[in-house]
Structure 1
Amino acid sequence: MKKLIVFCIFLFSLNGMYAQNNPEKQFDFWIGKWNLTWLGANGKIERGQNTISEILDGKVIQENFEATEGAQKGYKGISISVYNANSKTWHQTWMDNQRGNINFTGFFDENIKGFITRPQEVNGKQQVSRMVFKDITKDSFVWDWESSEDGGKTWKLNWQINYKRAQ
């Protein structure tokens, strides 16, 4: 029995290593149904749901986000994320019910992974925005929406969402 348990742990760790070494699997941790919480501007906890699915023969990740409680209730959005094997780069396009549309490129380092925009002018200043997935476990992670006006040297946290896997 102990050998079986050790073997199962070994297989699970190989799967995690496979995702780290296989860029096409870098965002598989995100797939699933999630309950979301964040601190609203009024200091109260707000809630939402996010369902992340593989589509198109498992080659594309589709996100369906909805804020369900709080000041942002009714805010909805979808994203499509895909790994381009030719450029060896992840790409994401976000669209929402406020006519928002943002294009991102994926990035990775040892501690975080996410998507970043190209520089764009916002209120007369060049700004870069990014979403960061961090503190990733099987059943939870933290998602940060950040912006930078100094080319990415420093980042301002604009929105932080806590993800918990729905049961």
Structure 2
Amino acid sequence: MKLVVIFSLLMSFMAPVSAATLCADNAYKQFDFWLGNWQVTNPTNNNVSQSKITKIIDDCVIFEEYSTPTGYQGKSLNIYDKTRDIWHQTWTDNSGMLLLLEGSFKAGAMVLEGQLTNDKGQVSIQRITWRALTADKVSQIWQQSSDDGKTWQTLFDGIYRRVD
């Protein structure tokens, strides 16, 4: 019983320290250029996809909701990990893919990388780069390497145009 009371007291003292205060560091704002409602296009097709990027959980997490006219949907959670000084993204979609990426903001771009294993057990490196071209236009390039980064194939070359 004493442990419950002590825990309750500790939590009540911690409550005034909001998560917004904990995530107020400028590093948490490095990906803010991506926030907004977007139409997404790429040179490989004429489909216009939609992407809504918002901050959630007291502005500590960036939440992405992506959908295409063909029914493809994906969502990601993005957070700056202060303890390791890196950005992390967890991406999931309606094909069952889980992609875990990590990286940093450097030279004016957010660059995240991770590994993906296909159905045959082959591992490839995935690299996604986001860059603000203007306040209302963001470039996203998704690349894959099957030879440990010696060569890269572009999987997606998207342009986000702000609609809000």
TM-score by length of 1: 0.75
Structure with bigger RCO (C-alpha 8 Å, 6+ apart): 2
Choose from 65, 69, 74 the match for 2:71. 74
Correspondence for 1:25: 29
Kindly report structure 1 stretches of 4+ aligned residues shifted beyond 6 Å.
none
Task: Render the CA deviation track for 1:63-101: whole Å, top value 9, x for unaligned.
Answer: 000002xxxx10001000011111111111011111111
Counterpart contact for 1:132–1:145, Cα < 8 Å:
yes
Counterpart contact for 1:133–1:143, Cα < 8 Å:
yes
Correspondence for 2:56: 55
Secondary structure in 2 matching 1:99: coil
C-alpha distance 131-96 of structure 1, shift in aligned 2 (>3 A): same
Correspondence for 1:7: none
1:1-167 to 2 correspondences below 5 Å: 22-40=26-44, 44-68=45-69, 73-118=70-115, 120=117, 123=120, 125-167=122-164
Deviates more, 1:135-144 or 1:79-88: 135-144
State the number of aligned residues.
140
TM-score by length of 2: 0.76
The percent identity for this pair of structures is 31
Paired with 2:132 and 2:33, the residues of 1 have a C-alpha distance of 11
Secondary structure in 2 matching 1:105: strand
Counterpart contact for 2:124–2:144, Cα < 8 Å:
yes
Q: What amino acid does structure 2 have at the position aligned with 1:31?
A: L
Task: Render the CA deviation track for 1:74-132: whole Å, top value 9, x for unaligned.
Answer: 00010000111111111110111111111110233214322110375775654201111
Paired with 2:132 and 2:151, the residues of 1 have a C-alpha distance of 20
**Alpha-carbon deviation of 1:146?**
0.3
Secondary structure in 1 matching 2:133: coil
Counterpart contact for 1:52–1:62, Cα < 8 Å:
yes
Counterpart contact for 1:39–1:46, Cα < 8 Å:
no
Counterpart contact for 1:107–1:116, Cα < 8 Å:
no
Unaligned runs of 5+ in 2: 1-24
Unaligned runs of 5+ in 1: 1-20
| C-alpha RMSD of matched pairs (Å) | 2.1
C-alpha distance 127-47 of structure 1, shift in aligned 2 (>3 A): same
